[in-house]
Chains A and B, each alone.
Chain A
Amino acid sequence: MASLISCPHCGVRPKEEFSIRGDATPVRPAPMASDEAWNDYVHVRANPRGRIREHWQHVAGCRRWLVVERDNFTHEVFSVTDAAAARGGAR
């Protein structure tokens, strides 16, 4: 019926405004990193229960990519941050 996500730019919004990409933990390897590193990045995902970090995009709002840290069992949301800020970007 509803879940609310607090977008750092737009405020509290229902989950319908977002699209979820998946695990935000993997970092894209350097171009010449090992086969294993690339295989892990592209294909391998853990599926833990509990606290997770995910990439959500606020598609119907500011269109920013966000990192949502939440519990996939209790649905508690711990933090929502801009993905660029999470990567230490220049914005």
Chain B
Amino acid sequence: MTAYRLASGGLIDRSNTIGFTFDGANLSGHAGDTLASALLANDRLLVGRSFKYHRPRGIVTAGSAEPNALVTIGTGARRDPNTKATVAELYDGLAATSQNRWPSLAFDIGAVNDRLSRFLSAGFYYKTFMWPAAFWEKVYEPLIRRAAGLGRTDLPRDPDGYEKSWAHCDLLVVGSGPAGLAAALVAARSGLRVILVEQDFALGGALLSETTKLDGEAPYIFSRHAIDELHGHPGVTLLPRTTVFGWYDDNVFGAVERVQKHSATIDAARPVERLWRIVAKHAILATGAEERPLVFGGNDRPGVMMASAASTYANRFGVAAGRSVAIFTNGSSGYRTAADLSARGVEIAALIDSRTDASDRAPDGVRVVRGGGIVDTKGRQRVRAVIADRGGFEEMIACDAVAMSGGWSPVIHLACQRGGRPVWSQALQAFLAPEVGDGLVMAGAAAGHYRLSECLDDGARKASAIVEALGRPVAGFERPVVGEEVDPSFTALWHVPGARSKAFVDFQNDVHGKDLGLALREGFGHVEHAKRYTTSGMATDQGKLGNVNAIGILAAMRGVSPAEVGTTTFRPFYTPVSFGALAGSSRDEHAMPVRRSPLHGWAARHGAVFIDAGLWYRSSWFPKAGEKTWRESVDREVRTVREHAGLCDVSTLGKIEVFGPDAAEFLNRLYCNPVLKLPVGKARYGLMLREDGMVYDDGTVSRLGETHFLVTTTTAMAAGVLSHMEFAAQALWPELRVRFLSVSDQWAQMSIAGPKARTILQAVVEDDLSNAAFPFLAAREVRLKGSLKARLFRISFSGELAYELAVPAGYGEAVADALMRAGEPQGLCAYGVEALNVLRIEKGHVTHAELDGRVTPDDAGLGRMMGTSKPDFIGKRLSTRFGLTAADRAQLVGLKALEADKDMRAGAHLLKDGAKPSTVNDQGWVSSVCFSPTLGTHIALAFLKSGRERYGEKIIVWDRLRGVETVAEVCDPVFVDPENRRLMA
């Protein structure tokens, strides 16, 4: 038996003792305890230091509104900072540490802030850190950052797994107290798909700590029967340890389930937390009500807690809040706590009631001080007395705990997360949820029905209405007989007059009554301003406990009703959610799917170095033994292609097949160049514009049949071009009879380029590949020897005699292997995208390095492609704008470095020889660079003002970022074979 554990009672398993540590001390509790109840039982009342003043703080609540008992649970990579001890389930081996204190909880240097508090009033950081301005970055900000925050996280990689799941139901019930259980029972019996969510590890809500009898038995017995029955309904899902943190569009609720947060040993096969997205046709919020603190001097002294929490600790956990408890109340709830504690043998030092005319009956022998109030408390790390004031007469009452009850506020947070504002109820002296439509209703205490019988009735009634709305017969619910119950009426008391020391409104953020007064005097009386100015209701707390009191105080000071002050905005998350849960399984390779080409295995066998290209992994170069740098490999690959032949994987290009009687007309409107007259069996280079006249993407168009085309896109724009085509076909010209399909994944495609390409390919292909039979730009189905069908295109990116061969993806590796074997005597090599890039720069072909969205066809030297006589195509109209045809536009040129040992970098700017670098002197930019093994020098593609008139000019390639300046000569962008002899060979 520990210091404050009662001899009997509670729903804990006293036969099951659990060991845990707090700040290194070995302690024990029982199964069924929370960390908070176990700490209280061990006389560990002091659990934290407050945020600003570092005042010692104790446990205040028994639930998720806890402002003080924020601890770090776990060690190393499994540290969870800012965990509420009041909801943390106790488990064997739990290691908790306190926060925001140094060097220890009992002796904390930061507590000096409390002595300096008159310099740390509300808004102090807006005033104090204003000058000198230069101090901000170097002194103030680091200082504030070090002081800010409560717990600290750790940097090691989180070793645990997380999961995200979708769930669907007819009815979501949030909260498993009397209203929630009654609602779930009615819905389940009526055959609805029901999800019942409870943030506690035990289902039952208030029934677990309630003493009013149901059918003559303790109410938790009723809850157990109800839960057993719910388990038996196939359409019911029960989710304990799950917090609904947000209500989103279309009645989707976000919830986080703590799957393995109550165990020291983690089963790696399962997630530690699961994030649920629950799509609910209807939802009932049976979230209960939160008891409000009283704002009196010294109300933050450890040992001062909510009266309902004192009842819960006694009734559910068998723990006494103190040995002699003073109760301070403005309503009936204080009397209920007095009865609960008395019944368990706890002494009541006094019951101080702020009301003068109350008729509530205190337990026999309890002294009641009517019309009184607490103005101060004594003690440092635990309260030892209170100063009570009645009509100017003060007395000191010795006690070691204070239970306070300031009335009740329905928990309406979720219902207000989508813009609905809470509605002030004068009768209940509380904010109620607004009407938010059919999808979500409040029930029980959350709807302002506090009596147990009302909660049960209301839950059943709200569920019945939903069953009816869904057109189902309503099953019966016979409410159990409710014993003598308490009507928790109260008379609002926003703050207790005559406070002799700080009277806290927001414990977590150290906001006291005077701070709100200061905010109002300084012009920050609007509730949203007051929140930011004082920090009341910020951080992990979000005003769960203190907000209504803050609003009441502001209202009283402004002389208006709380309705007029209103509340601050409610937003998700109701309680903090870990980043791990939000990310779910989307980390590492699961965050972004990896796409591998059908030739990946072939490339890997030839030693390819791979590079990320969007989601794709592409073979970048193929180092051979003895090659020390990537440049050596790339130079060799380029030379081999130019002299012999090379094979490159081009499978990642987008491929779209287009069908239909209007396919040609459709493509004619899509590309800026003419497509209508493209003969069957031929390919053509195609350029797509955006509607603003700039180049969007390029590729090839092949006509496979009269009404059947195949178009290719760049790898990067494959998805975008498909969407663009779908938009044009569906939204712009739905009258055109055209259909298309992305076939990118069906085909493994390889480019065979170089003077020996035909010889090599002919060894594998059945059809005649002679120039006459298969000329430049031929495109058609061919048969490979051994009878596999393939598609062959005589197109070239490298400027060499080249073909692209496409075979069904699964055959890609086998065909590539066959080509490599056939090409071996011819000197064929595998080459990657780096060599491909060098080859196309040498040939002056553009890619998206050039086509960056600012470039017209004419800028890229492709102006003659424009089918200006076509009646319409995307981009036609705006491509004739004055600005797009101006003579001084930057035009594609080639650059040859004049200093052999100096390279150029993409992104560099161009300057006239001798000109100072400036925006005015800027002549253009470099888009692509490489070392050309063919020319033996560094070359580049660049855009230069009126560039085509400036061949031969010397220009400065100026790269301030990397500190490189190179002299280059402007030239034609086609460095290799401008007459296309190789291409046509």
Contacts and interface: CB of A to CB of B under 8 A. Distances in A.
Interface of A: 1-4, 12, 14, 19, 21, 24, 28-29, 31-33, 38, 41-43, 55, 57, 59, 63-65, 74-75, 77, 82-84, 87-91
Contact of A1 (B248, B692, B878): B248
B734 A88 contact: yes
Contacts of B572: 1
A38 B877 contact: yes
Contacts of B246: 1
B347 interface: no
Contact of A89 (B730, B872, B876, B877): B730
Contact of A2 (B252, B418, B731, B734): B252
Given A55-B731, A84-B730, 6 more contacts: A12-B279, A32-B877, A57-B723, A74-B419, A83-B727, A90-B734
A64 B419 CA distance: 32
Nearest to B279: A4
A4 B872 contact: no
Q: Which of B731, B735, B872, B876 has the most CB of A within 10 A?
A: B731
A89 B723 contact: no
Contacts of A1: 246, 248, 252, 254, 277, 572
A31 B878 CA distance: 10
Interface in B703-734: 723, 726-727, 730-732, 734
B277 A2 contact: yes
Contacts of A77: 250
Given A31-B876, A88-B734, A57 B248 contact: no
B737 interface: yes
A47 to B, nearest CB: 19
B103 interface: no
Nearest to A37: B877
B255 to A, nearest CB: 10
Given A31-B877, A84-B734, A91-B734, A4 B249 contact: yes
Contacts of A88: 734
B250 A3 contact: yes
B727 A55 contact: yes
B745 interface: no
Contacts of B418: 75
A38 to B, nearest CB: 5
A65 B726 contact: yes
A24 B727 CA distance: 11
Contact of A42 (B254, B691, B735): B691
B570 to A, nearest CB: 15
Given A90-B734, A90-B735, A2 B723 contact: no
Contacts of A4: 249-250, 252, 279
Given A57-B723, A65-B726, A28 B249 contact: no
27 contacts: A1-B246, A2-B250, A4-B252, A21-B727, A24-B731, A28-B691, A31-B871, A32-B877, A33-B877, A38-B877, A38-B878, A42-B691, A43-B692, A55-B727, A57-B723, A57-B726, A59-B723, A64-B726, A64-B730, A65-B727, A65-B730, A77-B250, A82-B730, A83-B730, A84-B731, A84-B734, A89-B734
Which of B250, B872, B876, B878: most chain A Cβ within 10 A? B250
A80 B419 CA distance: 24
Interface in B226-268: 246, 248-250, 252, 254
Contacts of A19: 723
A89 B731 CA distance: 8
Nearest first, the 4 closest Cβ-Cβ pairs linking A and B are A89-B734, A84-B734, A2-B252, A4-B250
Nearest to B251: A4
A74 to B, nearest CB: 7
Contacts of B279: 2, 4, 12
Nearest to B719: A59
A11 to B, nearest CB: 12
Nearest to B742: A63
A3 B727 contact: no
A28 B727 CA distance: 12
Interface in B662-705: 691-692
Interface residues of B, number: 27
Contacts of B727: 21, 55, 57, 65, 83
Contacts of B878: 38, 42
B413 to A, nearest CB: 15
A35 to B, nearest CB: 8
Contacts of A32: 877
B138 to A, nearest CB: 40
Contact of B726 (A33, A42, A63): A63
Nearest to A73: B419
A20 to B, nearest CB: 11
Contacts of B691: 28, 41-42
A33 B246 CA distance: 50
A79 to B, nearest CB: 15
Contacts of B249: 2-4, 75
Nearest to A3: B249
B827 to A, nearest CB: 45
Contacts of A65: 726-727, 730-731
Nearest to B253: A1
Nearest to B669: A31
Contacts of B871: 31
A65 to B, nearest CB: 4
A75 B876 CA distance: 37
B615 to A, nearest CB: 14
Contacts of A84: 730-731, 734
A18 to B, nearest CB: 11
Nearest to B168: A12
Interface string B724-763: 0011001110110100000000000000000000000000
A3 B269 CA distance: 31
Given A1-B572, A31-B877, A87 B734 contact: yes
Contacts of A89: 730, 734-735
Given A31-B871, A55-B727, A3 B734 contact: no
Contacts of B735: 89-90
Contacts of A59: 723
B715 to A, nearest CB: 18
A66 B872 CA distance: 25
A19 B720 CA distance: 11
B166 to A, nearest CB: 8
A40 B403 CA distance: 68
Contacts of A43: 692
B248 A3 contact: yes
B879 to A, nearest CB: 11
Interface in B840-894: 871-872, 876-878
A64 B246 CA distance: 31
Contacts of A90: 734-735, 737
B260 to A, nearest CB: 23
A43 B877 CA distance: 13
Nearest to B693: A42
A27 to B, nearest CB: 9
A26 to B, nearest CB: 11
Nearest to B720: A19
A82 B727 CA distance: 11
B719 to A, nearest CB: 8
B575 to A, nearest CB: 15
Contacts of A12: 279
B731 A87 contact: yes
A89 B254 CA distance: 40
A77 B735 CA distance: 28
A2 B248 contact: yes
A43 B767 CA distance: 51
B250 A31 contact: no
Contacts of B252: 1-4
Contacts of A29: 877
A21 B732 CA distance: 13
A90 B624 CA distance: 58
Nearest to A74: B419
Interface in B462-479: none
